[in-house]
Amino acid sequence: MAPGDGEDDDLLAAEWAAMTDGSSDSGGDTGVDFGDSGSTRVLNQDEIDSLLGFDDGGGHGGDGSGLAAIVNSALVSYERLPMLEVVFDRLVRLMSTSLRNFTSDNVEVSLDNITSIRFGDYLNSIPLPAMLSVFKAEEWDNFGLLTIDSALIYSVVDVLLGGRRGTAAMRIEGRPYTTIERNLVERMVHVVLGDLSAAFDPLSPVTFRFDRLETNPRFAAIARPANAAVLARLRIDMEDRGGRLELLLPYATLEPVREILLQMFMGEKFGRDSIWENHLAGELWHTAVDINAVLDEIPTTLREVLAWEQGSEIVFNAAPSSLVNLRCGAVAMFRGRMGQRNGNIAIKIDSRITKDPN
């Protein structure tokens, strides 16, 4: 041991003992030293949870925060689909009308948010009890998921079976749903799927067919847990009753129309613009085109053409009474006979040349 090492060890031991005594006097709280100022900042449990992203105070639909948000940002980062927001906005308007006719009540539908989520994370976050409706997109050959929470289920049952207005729907937890409740919810799901098909119709015609109704999320696995999906949360209010409806579409389901959904939406009209179509059709009628009258054609070789010189004669087989073809560019359109009218060369059209479909 070198001279002086024993003194350094004694000083280190004394400093460690002083720190231990200070921490025991503070009652076990964790302190953070801010350098030379000598001040100590003590974090309580709420601040630690918020820093780590364990705080669920924002509700079921809140975004993650803290370290959890930093970690998840690298894992759940998918492309944005602008036209999908237009589709869901159209879905909200359609559902407001169809559900009002379905329930004969004053129904308000609102879109809470549209997020990207992993399919496995969504299944683990579904608050039970709930009904999960699995549906299939026929033209896209894939599936989607429609989740109805218990509040909306009991509200729809109460409204359809003549429950009084002004009283909250009765919720009986801890029992399976009855056949009547399942049938009534299934009818509502058919209405929602019909509106969803109509919302996608201007972009790509698709038929969403009801497949089955599940109450256990494990039996509603339509994709791998790590697969990405788009989740739209809708709020349905019927005066003092209502609940949430969540629509989940995996990215694999939307892949056939991905290029269409990536387009930016401009203007007020959805899909085709009839005003622009009428204007374009009107201008086409006034467009000037050149028509060429072809008297005759003879096939020849490039060798013969190169051998032509001044004084060479080219003999055509056309006679004064032969038919003349009228062409627009390379397209043959009409066939007629040549003559004169008011001192000008004219062609009287005898027939239209139709293109052979084969």
| Sign of the CA dihedral with 181 first, then 186, 143, and 266 last | negative
The CATH number assigned to the domain holding 301 equals 2.30.330.10
Distance from C-alpha of 240 to C-alpha of 168, rounded to nearest angstrom:
7
Say what the pLDDT of residue 144 is. 92
Say what the pLDDT of residue 34 is. 45
- What is the tens place of the pLDDT at every residue in 289-326? 888 888 888 888 999 889 888 888 888 887 777 888 88
Residue 158 belongs to domain spanning: 82-170+177-274
- What is the tens place of the pLDDT at every residue in 123-154? 888 887 888 999 999 989 899 999 998 888 88
Same domain (yes/no): 115, 205: yes
237: Cβ contacts below 8 Å, ≥ 6 apart: 107, 108, 109, 110
Q: Are 206 and 196 in contact (CB under 8 A)?
A: no
Residue 300 placed within a domain: yes
pLDDT mean across residues, the chain = 78
The CATH number assigned to the domain holding 125 equals 3.40.1550.10
3-class DSSP state for residue 163?
Answer: coil
The reply to whether the predicted model has a pTM over 0.85 is no
| Sign of the CA dihedral with 246 first, then 251, 255, and 258 last | positive
Same domain (yes/no): 199, 259: yes
Q: Are 101 and 195 in contact (CB under 8 A)?
A: no
With cut-offs at 50, 70 and 90, classify the pLDDT of residue 330: confident
Ranges of beta strands (E only) in the chain are: 31-33, 40-42, 107-118, 130-137, 142-149, 208-214, 228-238, 241-250, 292-294, 323-328, 331-341, 344-352
Q: Which of 274, 298, 331 is the last residue of a domain?
A: 274
Residue 28 placed within a domain: no
Say what the pLDDT of residue 67 is. 59
- What is the tens place of the pLDDT at every residue in 253-288? 888 888 888 877 544 445 556 787 888 888 888 888
CB atoms under 10 Å from CB of 75, counted, come to: 10
Looking at the 3D structure of the chain, how many domains does it have? 2
Same domain (yes/no): 125, 100: yes
Cis before 129? omega within 30: yes
Same domain (yes/no): 102, 246: yes
Residue 61 placed within a domain: no
What average pLDDT does this structure show over 195-217?
A: 89
Say what the pLDDT of residue 75 is. 43
Residue 122 placed within a domain: yes
Distance from C-alpha of 335 to C-alpha of 158, rounded to nearest angstrom:
75
Same domain (yes/no): 139, 201: yes
316 versus 189: which is more confidently predicted? Answer: 189
What average pLDDT does this structure show over 157-166?
A: 77
Same domain (yes/no): 264, 333: no
Same domain (yes/no): 264, 305: no
Same domain (yes/no): 195, 309: no
Say what the pLDDT of residue 356 is. 67
Distance from C-alpha of 53 to C-alpha of 257, rounded to nearest angstrom:
35
